[in-house]
Structure 1
């Protein structure tokens, strides 16, 4: 259940259409301090990772005469039928159904109970209940807090507290969303300072929708977030031994929760790098993730980073994770007769201390002999599945939706040390990596399950996403991921918290070629400034020892060639380019 607030004019009357205010059902929130202390001693208080350490008045209010009004929002009979029909996860070219978005009109100031705190603050509270919901959360539309105003959202037993949200949380879109919470009830508490004795009766905060999540996890009594433990038992957590060499790439992968119309869905995707290496908030997923969403729907999309278990097993709670809200679509191509990709620009910018990573990519046509997918099956915590057989180009058919010819990679998953990971509903849009740790595809769908582990899955090919659906910027990746028009075919990832893995030397000799350095230690991209009939590159270490040579053959002016530096140890190296025009020596440094 996700709640959505919206501003309104002070003269506008609030409607309670389809909302029932039921005193006999009301969970009277009479918060007694002694009871709270005992409860906190017996259980762990779990605080939202984005919260400042401050308490809502509910933690200290001991006036048992104060009753907080309850408002109930339930599924309609038709929605109950749809919920039951969606109980089986689907991944054949469709996003995994999660629940519903239910419209409402409520205001904490107009519909909540008000008390005065410390003689200088008005505090309003109200309780929202959506019977049977597995998950709760809040979205504030036209969210605009003033100086000294605060908003808290918490479960009735105070086991989860989100907030305080304050003026600095205002964003241009006017949207603020709270994390998903494992309860069917949430208390909304709004604080406004008393100024010159004026009562704040016309504040624009308004609840406009309740999102009622019906699937995507099980509550084990220890987890404060749903969607934990919901994936099939064969799946492998990202911090098992299989993920040991993928700790950088995992930091770019996020769980998505998307609103489309009045429904909610799960998918996966990744931050993706561009040739500016500037941390632009570009996010790659599948087109069928959120098909039909309006721009307003997109403002409520959630992206959960670091949503993973700290160890290999499935015990304990998920550690602190991060959530961004809102996106816009930059480019996409349909699953039917296309390669099924969607490139988003996230509305919010991630703080550097979140330690996110923008994954690199390889748009060449070459099959990959091995690699992994990092994903969130069934909306669960981050998992990893491994393949050891070469990918092959295919043309999948998802229930009559036929992708473009050879626009997908066919992948078969392999058993590994921990188990035999696959994909599920909710994995859609997740990135397929090659052995160099670069994205080569996005999950469109497939047949693999924990019960059928050897059946194939299908990923829209990055090379097809690039410009084979068409060259217009709305249906291709090229102009968005290569804004400098470098022509590179391989681009490494971007880590804003690390020095460049291969750094530009000050004394590079560009008369024959120059290097395009990227924050990934497996490649250097050489741009040749002159045409060469026969070129060879030799790599030497700082001691002058020859490490490798590579024949490039004929090279045209203003073209780019990619040279692998895979396996090079940290240190300084020289790239010597031999050509009939002469010799150029370029210096680069590998830092890991």
Structure 2
């Protein structure tokens, strides 16, 4: 986003926040299970439950979300103390006991339920309580989204055993349901649940981070969105190669969620070790996170302070289909030490109110409070509330001492490190984040910096040396908050120990996924091969058992679990292609499972006997690729100039899959585009503006196109691009005379720019019919970015427009409509341009839109003659599958290879070749050569020293020619399904296959040197 190209700033939120003055059981402890209403069975019972009207408490907006977003902007090149705001707090007064409805389930179980909702523009919400207390009688509280895909709880007496303020975790969407389950044999004593605030969150990263739907066992992956730090060249994911040596420290980084009476925000901190090494949960962050100067806020707000660990992508990729790790959250803290940004070093030390569960697998980082100057630095942070990023400084770049000065706050002299990172910028939300020195010890916390053109802005980090004891002689703040940190970090020796290493608690470490997976195919044996690298187990406890689970097209293959040391898996084609939602290709994912043999880890929901890594996946196209392209010949007195164009291997993507039966018509319904507008504020008041057009579309996951590698991959060096060649869509209906539909295509790296194609419905079109719209200029996109495809139509003032058809699914989904009217059904995300939600409605399905992706930049019309660009759809899938990279072209003249020896290869690189001595009357073939490992999928001829077959793409006469046919004992021809259709003993130099129907065949030539296999296309 433009507003993320920042100036000199304090990188977080100048919020007024606080944590409780006494320790209690105020962490986010829940105990699993599911609401009693989820267990109701039987159609009549379910209908009765569904028809029950749950009371609704609606939190009306008391602010303009756009105004809060605007506060995240600042002017480039100027000093500023600007907040990163993620949402607004809507004050409410909701007493659960008074407003919830009592229900009795068929089992006799008694429950109370209440809905809490806000404006549909919210990406996520969470609830704040002025009192939260559940009686010690067995009652349980659950909180869940209306679609039941995201559930918090059970909360019981042990969650929060005293009356007082509290907060519950974030849930995606704009509405939640609270369900209180009474104990079976008890008086109906209701809990004291008094909600005083609803956090309206507009930051989509937060919604994604806390979405259980995208972190469940199906391993659905988290996509980027409009809140992304889009200057990808300026940020580095923590799991890029630069972070390989810092895996432990990653597990100590914490994302803080802060609240005031008006708004909520985010900054970054770190979990620290102490010299007692008793794993007291100490959090180090920036002082300005809670205010630039004392006094500190009231106690009640501290109980609503949240801490989340592990929000990071498992790979270096910024692609939209890249999983983020599950996050772990705690609630409630107490302030121990505070140093203001004004006249001080800008530090804050907190203590979470309850021990962090062992199952969270967090790392307690080491620190260095000495006056030593670091020789190298690495920082980790959550810019713009995004997944964790890193920044680093290496020699000869140096670190200087500095002083914070933004014009309104002046820090103490030499209390900051001042430097510029080699790589990786910081942004709003990075405030308070740690930097480690070359010895992996924390030496400072981020205050702010100056964003400049490019990616090398200056940064100022408050020194731990100054936080330590620089102001120890000054008096305590309110509530006995100390002005120095040394006695808390060194309780053993009162601050004399200046350096300490980090530690895992009881060796409860984070788990790593595999680095990459590669898929290849043996077309002769009709077998798929999946390969990956074994995980190094030396860093894990000896009693942990490692195994690998295999997923095909997102579903676990039953009964397939391999022990550590296994690095491959194979299966026949018929198994691989058994999924009707994928045609012409297949995708595989690998999940590493770590079992805690005999020593389970304790967590909030009981014992954990194992944990699993995130999935790493890849795929392969199995259908025949374009093997030959048409040569264009131009003869002169010395020879022939041969030109040709790169082929297009097309893939069709579908978010909703494909019918089980070929040709079966999809069940669709109309999704009209509601009339929408947004308010424009002017000098004389607010006016209502209706945009001319609106659009309904979907986001598509395309990072499956990234080139595979068996070794760790830094995909920032990715250079291959793909192209949207056409879009298939089912419009919602006919438009009025003179009106046209429009296909819109854009991607993450293009912003609002993209391509559009106006079109009319074809003659004879009927509702439910697909229309394929070919783009005159194919849209190029980077597979590391997300892709958005939408159908645009006129916005009707005061009435619905035709809209688009939706393919029905089992459960309804919400469609947010922005002022640009991009409606994304699959992930509720929008194009990253300024927007405002207008409405939201449940829809049972996905927009009927399918982009057709090409590997060629040339437009290809698969409905007409292909002309001089060869192209065809080779795969239909719900997930992008990498197309083999073109290495070059083999050129034959009258059956003889004429490119042999070019560039040391037997193929030619380029789209122009000059054949000296050739004539236009000669017979030329141009064969496409693809890269390994997919070469097995498209290699048309296996060469021996003397026997070869040509052409592999048969002409009209249906003949194939054999060079040195006298060396061939037998020739066998098979269909793709393995059926033998022709057998010839001692074949001649020319063999007719004219009697065979059109299709793809394998030819096996038996010679004294062995079998030679070729694939031919007729």
Same fold per superposition (TM over 0.5):
yes
Q: Which residue of 2 aligns with 1:86?
A: 71
Instruction: Tell me the C-alpha RMSD between the 2 structures.
Output: 2.8
- Asked whether the 8 Å contact 1:227–1:380 carries over to 2, the reply is no
- 1:389-404 pair list within 5 angstroms: 389-404=397-412
Q: CA separation of 1:93/1:272 partners in 2, compared to 1, >3 Å: closer, same or farther?
A: farther
Task: Give the match for residue 260 of structure 2.
Answer: 260
Query: What SS does the aligned partner of 1:422 have?
Result: coil
- Quote how far apart the aligned CAs of 1:179 are: 2.5
Matches of 1:321 and 1:252, distance apart in 2? 12
1:206 aligns with 2:194: yes
Corresponding residue of 1:231: 229
- Whether the aligned pair in 1 keeps the contact of 2:65 and 2:88 (CA below 8 Å) is no
CA deviations over 1:446-493 (Å, ceiling 9, x no partner): 1137x5411211100111111113434611111211122261221111
Which residue number in structure 2 is paired with residue 294 of structure 1? 298
Q: 2 CA distance for matches of 1:352 and 1:299?
A: 22
Partner of 2:436: 433
The C-alpha deviation readout for 1:533-576, integer Å capped at 9, x for no partner, is xxxxxxxxxxxxxxxxxxxxxxxxxxxxxxxxxxxxxxxxxxxx
Q: Contact between 2:69 and 2:85, CA under 8 Å: does it hold in 1? A: no
| Distance apart, 1:311 and its partner CA | 2.2
Give, in angstroms, the shift of residue 82 of structure 1: 4.2
- The residue that corresponds to 1:334 in the other structure is 340
Note closer, same or farther for the CA distance 1:312–1:81 as it changes in structure 2 (3 Å cut): closer
Counterparts of 1:271 and 1:334, CA distance in 2: 20
Tell me the residue number matched to 2:123: 134
Shift of 1:284: 0.5
Pair 1:162 & 2:152 matched: yes
Once the two structures are superposed, the pairs formed by residues 480-559 of structure 1 within 5 Å of their partners are 480-485=488-493, 487-498=496-507
Is the 8 Å Cα contact of residues 134 and 140 (structure 2) preserved in structure 1? Answer: no
Relative to structure 1, is the Cα distance of residues 489 and 310 closer, same or farther in structure 2, using a 3 angstrom cutoff? same
Corresponding residue of 2:457: 455
**In structure 2, how many angstroms separate the alpha carbons of the residues matched to 1:108 and 1:266?**
29
CA distance in 2 between counterparts of 1:194 and 1:215 reads: 41
1:422 maps to 425
Contact 1:49–1:321 (8 Å) recurs in 2: no
d(CA) in 1 for partners of 2:329, 2:204: 17
Q: Do 2:71 and 2:82's aligned partners in 1 also have CA atoms closer than 8 Å?
A: no
Are the equivalent residues in 2 in contact too, given 1:129–1:184 (CA < 8 A)? yes
Structure 2 residue 179 is matched with structure 1 residue 193: no
1:312 corresponding residue in structure 2: 316
Contact residue 402 and residue 416 of structure 2 kept, 8 A: yes
Q: Distance in 1 between matches of 2:116 and 2:142?
A: 13
SS in 2 for 1:62: helix
Q: Distance in 2 between matches of 1:227 and 1:242?
A: 22
Mapped partners of 2:29, 2:332: distance in 1:
19
Evaluate the alpha carbon distance shift between residue 93 and residue 482 of structure 1 in structure 2; reply closer, same or farther with a 3 A threshold.
Answer: farther
Contact 1:108/1:189 (8 A) holds in 2: no
Report how far residue 313 of structure 1 moved. Answer: 1.9
For 1:509-533, what per-residue CA distance to the aligned partner results, in whole angstroms no more than 9, with x for missing partners?
Answer: xxxxxxxxxxxxxxxxxxxxxxxxx
Distance 1:433 1:320, change over 3 A: same
Instruction: Tell whether the 8 Å contact from 2:29 to 2:155 is kept in structure 1 after alignment.
Output: no
Alpha-carbon distance, 1:104 to partner: 1.6
User: Given the alignment, which residue of 300, 304, 307 partners 1:303?
Assistant: 307
Tell me if 1:377 matches 2:377. Answer: no
Q: Secondary structure at the match of 2:351?
A: strand
Partner Cα separation in structure 1 for residue 182 and residue 74 of structure 2 = 44
The whole-number CA distance in structure 2 between the counterparts of 1:51 and 1:434 is 39
Q: Distance in 2 between matches of 1:182 and 1:320?
A: 15
Summarize the Cα distance change of 1:316–1:107 in structure 2 as closer, same or farther, 3 Å threshold.
farther
Q: What TM-score, normalized by structure 2, do the two folds share?
A: 0.41
Alignment of 1:554-573 (within 5 A): none
Per the TM alignment, residue 219 of structure 1 is displaced from its structure 2 partner at its CA by: 6.5
1:62 corresponds to 2:51: no
Aligned residues of 2:287 and 2:339 also touching (Cα < 8 A): yes
Would you say the 8 A contact 1:95–1:267 is kept in 2? no
Alpha-carbon deviation of 1:175? 5.2
Residues 236-267 of structure 1 deviation map (CA, whole Å, 9 limit, x = unaligned)? 22222121111111111100001123321111
Per-residue deviation, residues 131-182 of structure 1 (Å, max 9, x unmatched): 0222212344333243321111111112211122233323457555332222
CA separation of 1:269 and 1:83: change in aligned 2, threshold 3 A: same
Is 2:112 the partner of 1:124?
yes
Tell me: CA distance 1:99–1:495, structure 2 relative to 1, closer, same or farther (3 Å).
Answer: same
Corresponding residue of 1:476: 484
| Distance apart, 1:316 and its partner CA | 3.7
Partner of 1:99: 87
Shift of 1:92: 4.3
The answer to whether the Cα contact below 8 Å between 1:181 and 1:226 also exists between their aligned partners in 2 is no
Q: 1:128 is paired with a residue of what secondary structure? A: strand
Give the whole-Å Cα distance in 2 for the aligned partners of 1:350 and 1:493: 16
Partner of 2:775: none
Number of the residue aligned with 1:356: 362
Q: Deviations over 1:94-131 (max 9, x none)?
A: 54222222222223332122211245432111211110
Question: After the TM superposition, which of the residue ranges 167-176 and 180-189 deviates more from structure 2?
Answer: 167-176
TM-score, normalised by the number of residues in structure 1: 0.69
Select the residue among 435, 443, 447 that pairs with 1:444.
447
Distance 1:430 1:478, change over 3 A: same
Query: Secondary structure of the residue that 1:109 maps to in structure 2?
Result: helix
Q: Structure 2 stretches of 5 or more lacking a match?
A: 1-27, 41-45, 216-221, 477-481, 509-1018
Deviation digits for residues 253-310 of structure 1 (CA, Å, limit 9, x no counterpart): 1000011233211110011122111111211100001224322111100000112222
Deviation at 1:367, TM superposition (A): 1.9
- Give the Cα–Cα distance (whole angstroms) in 2 for the partners of residues 56 and 194 of structure 1: 12
SS in 1 for 2:269: strand
In structure 2, the CA distance between the partners of 1:371 and 1:49, relative to structure 1 (3 Å rule), is farther
Q: In 2, are the aligned partners of 1:271 and 1:357 still within 8 Å (CA)?
A: yes
Deviation at 1:53, TM superposition (A): 4.0
2:59 to 67, 73, 86: 73
Structure 1 spans left out of the alignment, 5+ residues: 1-47, 416-420, 500-592
Over 3 Å counting, the alpha-carbon distance change for 1:423 and 1:406 in structure 2 is same
Q: Would the aligned equivalents of 2:34 and 2:151 in 1 still touch at CA under 8 Å?
A: no
Deviation at 1:206, TM superposition (A): 2.2
1:215 matched to 2:219: no
